[in-house]
Structure 1
Amino acid sequence: MINTNNIIAGVDEAGRGPLAGPVVAAAVILPKNHSIEGLIDSKKLTAKKREKLYKEITNICDYGIG
């Protein structure tokens, strides 16, 4: 996670084992004056809550998946 005076950026990856196999990475950049209530470890969220947060994140954040 990068935290500067103006933005907060988080990066995560999903995959198994070494990086030689299939891996997906994502990054989200959020203006520091915005917060998203309930945004915690995705493994601790219900599918319904993840979907709700997804909509909120994609509406207010810059993001990339690759």
Structure 2
Amino acid sequence: NQWLKFMFTKIPQQYVPNLFLCSRHFTDDCFPGLREFKAGFVNRLLLKEGSVPSLFGPACSSESQP
């Protein structure tokens, strides 16, 4: 529910279940493997369980995601 509150001014009655946000909307501490990702040791960033987006900013395209 916190994700929906972040994404919508007013939470819609219905929405697609596959909503996503780019990593720019999360603080660095939400990614336990961030250093390994930046160093090229892993190919994918994973969110820490319970992470909630908190950074507002311009919309991200899929090509701009780390």
Category of TM-score, reference length = shorter chain = under 0.3
More strand by share: 1
TM-score by length of 2: 0.22
TM-score by length of 1: 0.22
> Which structure is higher in RCO with an 8 Å CA cutoff and minimum separation 6?
2
